[in-house]
Chain A
Amino acid sequence: GQQVMQIPQYQHVQEGEDFTTYCNSSTTLSNIQWYKQRPGGHPVFLIQLVKSGEVKKQKRLTFQFGEAKKNSSLHITATQTTDVGTYFCAGDQTGANNLFFGTGTRLTVIP
Chain B
Amino acid sequence: NAGVTQTPKFRVLKTGQSMTLLCAQDMNHEYMYWYRQDPGMGLRLIHYSVGEGTTAKGEVPDGYNVSRLKKQNFLLGLESAAPSQTSVYFCASSYWDGANYGYTFGSGTRLTVV
Contact = CB atoms under 8 A, between A and B. Distances in A.
Interface of A: 1, 6, 9, 33, 35, 41-45, 48, 50, 88, 90, 97-104
Nearest to B88: A42
The number of chain B residues touching the other chain, given as a range, is: 20 to 34
Interface in B25-47: 31, 35, 40-45
A19 B40 CA distance: 20
Contacts of B96: 97
Contact of B104 (A45, A98, A103): A45
Contact of A101 (B43, B104, B107, B108): B43
B90 to A, nearest CB: 6
B2 to A, nearest CB: 14
A13 to B, nearest CB: 21
Interface in B65-86: none
Nearest to A30: B99
B100 A48 contact: yes
Given A50-B100, A100-B59, A42 B43 contact: no
Contact of B103 (A1, A6, A43): A43
B99 A50 contact: yes
B57 to A, nearest CB: 11
Nearest to A41: B107
Contacts of A48: 100-102
A44 to B, nearest CB: 7
A79 to B, nearest CB: 22
Contact of B42 (A45, A97, A103): A103
A1 B45 CA distance: 13
A47 to B, nearest CB: 8
B94 A97 contact: yes
